[in-house]
């Protein structure tokens, strides 16, 4: 009987970037940009439900049943990879898409980062936005840059992610990795608390809420380098969003953040 571990192993073996588990179709793998069906039989709605739910802790299954949406991650140390998983409910039943994430954080030369981008790791303070469409390498780029800092500086890095993707090796920095759900209720709450955790650098996996960006700006004003990525296809939109936030909220100083507004 087909299970998640077999699908994960096949994805790594064939060099797939993504796995699609969809009712009424065999499992599919995205390989070199193309969706390729596996040789398995088509999965029924009960099959996809079993495969997906058996790979999740009970509390996450309950969360999905309540919200019909779920982001999670699966660690497979024996395969040398982690997997970011999005679970959804669609017209034919429960489905999931998994992104393959290598366990090792890639080096700059492995992903073709230009020297001027690597120099961002030398910034003493500021706000850094890494933007682009889905699958363009935002998470990988940030992980690479953070790992360079981890080997060159002696600082405290706080990451806020949903879910945690790359796990950083022990280096000269202290890296506190927090995941929305298990470790904090929301990005805004985790960001607010991060300012009280003596951070030198704050990395945020994605900033959805205006409040989150406001806190990011305040963190930058306080001198904490802040490394978020925003899910926009062009760089103009994050800059326009920040401009609107400055106008609306009039962020002029870095006063206490004791009240939610």
Judgement on whether residues 231 and 209 belong to the same structural domain of the protein: yes
Please give the pLDDT value at position 209: 52
Tens-place pLDDT, residues 16-70: 999 999 999 999 999 999 999 999 999 999 999 999 999 999 999 999 999 999 9
Judgement on whether residues 219 and 116 belong to the same structural domain of the protein: yes
Q: Using CB atoms within 10 A of its CB, is residue 114 exposed (0-12), middle (13-18) or buried (19+)?
A: exposed
Q: How far is CA 97 from CA 52, 54, 130, 250, in A?
A: 10, 15, 23, 40
Residues 6 or more apart in contact with residue 40 via CB below 8 angstroms: 2, 26, 27
Domain coverage including residue 41: 4-102
Please give the backbone phi and psi of residue 217, each rounded to the nearest 5 degrees, phi first: -65, -45
Distance CA 179, CA 62 (A): 18
Judgement on whether residues 22 and 63 belong to the same structural domain of the protein: yes
Average pLDDT for the chain: 83
Structure tokens that stand for 217 in this block: 């700006």
Total domain count for the chain?
Answer: 2
Please give the pLDDT value at position 185: 85
Evaluate whether residue 254 is within a structural domain.
no
Please give the pLDDT value at position 176: 96
Closest listed residue to residue 249, CA positions, set 224, 213, 219: 213
Structure tokens that stand for 180 in this block: 């929305």
Evaluate whether residue 260 is within a structural domain.
no
Residues 6 or more apart in contact with residue 11 via CB below 8 angstroms: 18, 19, 29, 83, 98, 100
Judgement on whether residues 112 and 95 belong to the same structural domain of the protein: no
Evaluate whether residue 256 is within a structural domain.
no
Evaluate whether residue 209 is within a structural domain.
yes
Mean pLDDT calculated for residue range 143-164: 92
Identify the residue whose tokens are 């996809």.
48
Judgement on whether residues 134 and 212 belong to the same structural domain of the protein: yes
DSSP for residue 106: P
Tens-place pLDDT, residues 100-132: 998 889 999 999 999 999 998 998 877 787 877
pTM: 0.74
Helix, strand, coil shares of the chain, percent, nearest 5, are 35, 25, 40
DSSP for residue 140: H
Judgement on whether residues 167 and 219 belong to the same structural domain of the protein: yes
Judgement on whether residues 122 and 16 belong to the same structural domain of the protein: no
Q: At residue 232, does pLDDT exceed 90?
A: no
Distance CA 127, CA 129 (A): 7
Evaluate whether residue 160 is within a structural domain.
yes
Q: At residue 80, does pLDDT exceed 70?
A: yes
Q: At residue 89, does pLDDT exceed 80?
A: yes
- What do you get for the CA distance between the two ends of the chain, in Å? 52
Q: What percent of the chain has pLDDT over 90?
A: 52
Half-sphere exposure of 246 (CA within 13 A, CB side): 10
Residues 6 or more apart in contact with residue 15 via CB below 8 angstroms: 31, 32
């Amino acid at each position: 009987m087909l299970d998640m571990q077999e699908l994960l192993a096949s994805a790594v073996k064939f060099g797939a970037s993504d796995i699609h588990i969809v009712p009424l179709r065999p499992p599919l793998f995205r390989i070199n940009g193309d969706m390729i069906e596996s040789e398995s039989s088509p999965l029924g709605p009960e099959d996809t439900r079993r495969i997906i739910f058996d790979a999740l802790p009970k509390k996450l299954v309950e969360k999905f049943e309540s919200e019909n949406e779920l982001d999670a991650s699966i660690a497979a140390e024996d395969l040398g990879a982690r997997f970011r998983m999005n679970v959804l409910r669609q017209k034919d039943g429960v489905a999931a898409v998994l992104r393959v994430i290598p366990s090792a954080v890639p080096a700059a030369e492995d992903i073709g980062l230009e020297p001027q981008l690597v120099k961002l790791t030398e910034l003493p303070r500021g706000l850094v936005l890494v933007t682009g469409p889905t699958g363009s390498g935002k998470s990988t780029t940030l992980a690479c840059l953070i790992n360079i800092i981890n080997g060159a500086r002696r600082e405290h890095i706080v990451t806020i992610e949903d879910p945690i993707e790359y796990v950083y090796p022990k280096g000269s920095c202290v890296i506190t990795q927090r995941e929305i759900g298990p470790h904090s209720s929301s990005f805004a709450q985790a960001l607010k608390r991060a300012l009280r955790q003596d951070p030198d650098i704050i990395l945020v996996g994605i900033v959805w809420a205006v409040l989150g960006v406001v806190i990011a700006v305040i963190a930058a004003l306080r001198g904490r380098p802040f490394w978020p990525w925003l899910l926009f296809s062009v760089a103009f939109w994050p800059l326009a969003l920040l401009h609107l936030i400055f106008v609306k909220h009039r962020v002029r100083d870095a006063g206490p953040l004791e009240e939610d507004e």
